[in-house]
Amino acid sequence: MIVPVLLGLSLLVFAISHLLPGDPVALAAGPQATKTEIAALAHELGTDQPLPVQYWSYLTGLLSGDWGQSVLTRRPVLADLRIYLPATLELVVAAMALAIVIGIPAGLLSAVFVDRWPDYLSRILSLGAISMPRFFLGLLLQLGFAMQLGWLPLNGRYPIIEDPPPFVTGFLSLDALLAGDPDAVWLALTHLALPAIAMSLSPLATITRMMRSATIEVLQQDYVLTERALGLSRWLIIFKYVAKNAMSSSLTVIGLYVGWLLGGSVLVETVFDWPGIGLYATKAIVTQDFMPVMGVTLAIGVVFVLVNLVIDLLYGVLNPKVRLG
């Protein structure tokens, strides 16, 4: 289903971008351009062709690795995505890692100690985390940890006065690790910390709540009662049998949140001046430069369907019934 989904996404994005008001060619030509110059630029870019012809050219270009070029900068969109997409992916991966590492144990413990103080604390913190707007939380983190305490950098992805590690994966922390430079690893992680925390709270709260409800349900199953009757250790039952079976619903949330964070990263990237696809797409939207917007949307779509494919495969790892089916 990946192929028809991406094909439909490309058609939808192409149609929306051409239905929006405005003339990006006229903007790119400049306010002093004549009608003849605008027409010549439109012919050069192919925007004077019928829409079906334009879409076919765009689609065949996608299949051959040509994602179009920016009308304003004349840079290939795919080249820009190779620069900006890894920055956003690094931020999303860090945020989801924090949400998973903290959220799953928190939800598990909340279910084990249901209606006791760990459960109440977890529910209160989850409600507060999911209610807090990310951009406002980002500003609070900047005021507290960057401006008042001075523990972490205020914004940016890497110090301007420092040379970043050689580009390998586009993930600065990983590239610094591959380069064997511990100082660069530390700089990359300190710049990553605040925006990752700001993005992680909403998925962390959701994963915690989902894990709690799923664990409570699993704890009431007959096989868990049988294991208790056999005298197995309480924590052995929880970590070996209950946690694995309660993970399925959390996996679904994790897959959905990856796409949500990719598409909604623009607020955090704006607050922290993070050079990712959110800022890249925002600048393109403001200038009505549709090719970069279409490229960003398709890139998010590709990552989203691939992540959910991995999630579907993990269902089989956790649940033998799914694997046998």
Q: Do 113 and 56 share a structural domain?
A: no
Q: Do 253 and 131 share a structural domain?
A: yes
Q: Do 145 and 197 share a structural domain?
A: yes
Averaged over 131-147, what is the pLDDT? Answer: 84
Q: pLDDT (tens digit, 9 = 90+) per residue, 4-59? A: 888 888 888 888 777 766 666 666 666 666 677 667 766 666 666 777 887 888 88
Q: pTM to 2 decimals? A: 0.84
Q: Which domain holds residue 189?
A: 84-276
Q: Do 256 and 132 share a structural domain?
A: yes
Q: Do 129 and 267 share a structural domain?
A: yes
Q: What is the pLDDT of residue 89?
A: 92
Q: Do 241 and 123 share a structural domain?
A: yes
CA gap 80, 183 in Å, rounded: 28
Q: Do 139 and 22 share a structural domain?
A: no
For 76, phi then psi, to 5°, come to -60, 135
Q: pLDDT (tens digit, 9 = 90+) per residue, 224-266? A: 888 878 888 878 888 877 887 888 778 888 888 888 888 778 8
Among 239, 261, 276, residue at a domain's last position: 276
Give the CATH number of the domain where residue 90 resides: 1.10.3720.10
Domain assignment present for residue 191? The answer is yes
Q: Do 120 and 57 share a structural domain?
A: no
Domain assignment present for residue 100? The answer is yes
Place of tokens 């039952």: 237
Total tally of structural domains belonging to the chain: 2
Domain assignment present for residue 285? The answer is no
Q: Do 117 and 217 share a structural domain?
A: yes
Domain assignment present for residue 297? The answer is no
Q: Do 90 and 53 share a structural domain?
A: no
Q: Do 229 and 128 share a structural domain?
A: yes
Domain assignment present for residue 15? The answer is yes
Domain assignment present for residue 312? The answer is no
